[in-house]
A and B are shown apart, each in its own frame.
Chain A
Amino acid sequence: MEKKSLKGYLYLLPALIIILVFTIYPLIKAVLMSFYEGYSIINGSFDAIGLGNYKELFSDKVFRKALTNTSIYVVFVVPCSILLSLLIAVLLNSKIRCKGMFQTLFFLPYVTSVIAIGIVWSWIFNSNYGLLNYVLSWFGIEAVPWLNSPDYALMALIIFSIWKSMAFDILIFLAGLQTISPDLYNAARVDATPKWRVFLKITVPGISPMIAYAFIMGMINAFKVYNEVFSLFKSSAGPANSAITVVYYIYDKFYNSADYGVASAAAVVLFVIILALTMIQRAVSDKKTA
Chain B
Amino acid sequence: MEIRIENLTKAYGDFRAVDGMNLTICDGELVGLLGPSGCGKSTTLFMLAGLTEPTDGKIFFGDKDVTKIPPEEREIGLVFQNYALYPHMTVEENIMFPLINRKVNKKEAKERAYEMAKLVHLEGLMDRKPKALSGGQQQRVAIARALVKKPKVLLLDEPLSNLDAKLRIETREEIRRIQQEVGITTIFVTHDQEEAMSISDKIAVMDKGVVQQYEVPQSMYLEPENLFVAQFLGMPEINTFSAVVKDGAIYCGQVKLREISGLSDGTYTAGIRPESFEVREDGFAVEAAHVRMTGRDLLIYFTLDKEPLRVLAHSDLQIEKGGAFKLGVRQNQIMLFDADGSMIGKY
Contacts and interface: CB of A to CB of B under 8 A. Distances in A.
Contacts of B51: 186, 189-190
Interface SS of chain A: helix
Interface in A171-192: 181, 183-184, 186-192
A187 B81 CA distance: 11
A190 B86 CA distance: 13
Contacts of B70: 189
Nearest to A204: B88
B72 A190 contact: yes
A181 B130 CA distance: 15
A201 interface: yes
Contacts of A193: 97, 101
Nearest to A182: B84
B71 A190 contact: yes
B84 A186 contact: yes
B82 interface: yes
A194 B98 CA distance: 11
B76 interface: yes
Given A186-B51, A205-B87, A205-B88, A192 B101 contact: yes
Contacts of A181: 82, 84
B74 to A, nearest CB: 8
Interface in B38-58: 46, 49, 51
B93 to A, nearest CB: 9
B306 interface: no
B169 interface: no
A189 B98 CA distance: 10
A138 B234 CA distance: 75
B18 interface: no
Interface of A: 181, 183-184, 186-194, 197, 201-202, 205-206
B58 to A, nearest CB: 20
Contact of A192 (B49, B72, B84, B88): B72
Contacts of B214: none
A189 B149 CA distance: 14
A201 B84 contact: no
Given A192-B98, A205-B87, A187 B78 contact: yes
B80 interface: yes
Nearest to A183: B84
B167 interface: no
Contact of A189 (B72, B86, B87, B97): B72
Interface in B61-100: 70-73, 76-78, 80-82, 84, 86-89, 97-98
Interface string B191-227: 0000000000000000000000000000000000000
A184 B80 CA distance: 9
Given A186-B46, A201-B89, 14 more contacts: A181-B82, A183-B81, A183-B82, A186-B80, A187-B80, A189-B71, A190-B49, A190-B51, A190-B71, A190-B72, A191-B72, A192-B72, A192-B102, A201-B88
Contacts of A205: 87-88
Contacts of A187: 78, 80, 84, 86
26 contacts: A181-B82, A183-B82, A184-B86, A184-B87, A186-B46, A186-B51, A187-B84, A187-B86, A188-B86, A189-B51, A189-B70, A189-B72, A190-B49, A190-B76, A191-B98, A191-B101, A192-B72, A192-B73, A192-B98, A192-B102, A194-B101, A201-B88, A202-B86, A205-B88, A206-B87, A206-B88
